[in-house]
Amino acid sequence: MKTERDQMNPKVKELAKMIDHSILHPTLTDEDLRRECEVAKKYDVASVCVKPYAVKQAVQLLKGTDVLVGCVIGFPAGNSSIDVKVFEAERACEDGAVEIDMVINIGKALQGDWDYIKEEIRSVTETSHKNNAIVKVIFETDFVTRTEDKIKLCEICTEAGADFVKTSTGFGFVKQPDGSYNYTGATLDDLRLMRKHSGPNVQIKAAGGVRTLEDLIKVKETGATRSGATATIKILDDGIERFGDK
């Protein structure tokens, strides 16, 4: 019996390997983690992105597959001190994570304390690389909205040797005029800006709001090579339907 992965043509496989399957909602249980890791295996995505305590379990659940395990650091608000972020990254790597998605100190970025931002990105990047993990630096573009600040962050990440710059957490909720909270997440304009102002060795990751096959294709067209997603099943099933099997 063919699996979804067996039915994927090269176009769909390429899209699948852009996806970091996000398992980050605060209410998720261990059973939810097992279910979502099965989704990641079934569709052979690039990675799962999990909370720090879940790294060891995810590594075991995905043993023998090509799906990598990533871990969020300072998530979602970025308010941990630098030494705590470094400790979190080191512990995640010890537990088996090979990708680290760190949230910057958003307030420090908004006040233009670039020396602080440089130090935290450099510190987490050095620690992660020492432990054979790559680093994705989350700007949280729902909060860091000024173009000049996003450009500066791209330049700092390039200088620090970060592997990816990333738009959002998917939890950057902003109060709306009606009193409700919502977020935008990745926009095509932000992805293009990040690609333009990051060095050639820095890749781009979209996160937040990528929910359809069309969304993922548009993200790819900006030059982004990874995207966070929770709607992985819908995106890739639609890809199989559109592009057919082998």
Beta bridge partners of 129: none
64 class by beta-carbon count within 10 Å (0-12 exposed, 13-18 middle, 19+ buried): exposed
Q: Domains along the chain?
A: 4-243 (3.20.20.70)
**Structure confidence by residue, pLDDT tens digits, 102-153:** 999 999 999 999 999 999 999 999 999 999 999 999 999 999 999 999 999 9
Catalytic residue among 85, 166, 190, 215: 166
To the query of whether residue 101 is one of the catalytic residues in this protein, the response is yes
Count CB-CB contacts under 10 A for residue 204. Answer: 25
Mean pLDDT by 10 residues, the chain (246 residues): 63 96 97 98 97 98 97 97 98 98 98 98 98 98 97 98 97 89 93 98 96 97 98 96 78
Is 11 noted as a catalytic residue in this protein?
Answer: no
Question: Does 205 qualify as catalytic in the annotation?
Answer: yes
User: Of residues 101, 142, 149, 190, which has the active-site annotation?
Assistant: 101
3 state SS of 49: strand
Give the number of other CB atoms < 10 A from CB of residue 127. Answer: 20
> Tell me, what's the pLDDT at 190?
98
H-assigned helices in the chain: 4-7, 10-16, 30-43, 55-61, 82-94, 106-110, 114-130, 147-160, 188-197, 213-221, 232-243
Give the tokens for residue 66.
């090509």
Q: Is 29 left (phi over 0), alpha (psi -120 to 50) or beta?
A: beta
CA 99, 107, 149, 19 torsion: positive or negative?
positive
pTM higher than 0.85:
yes
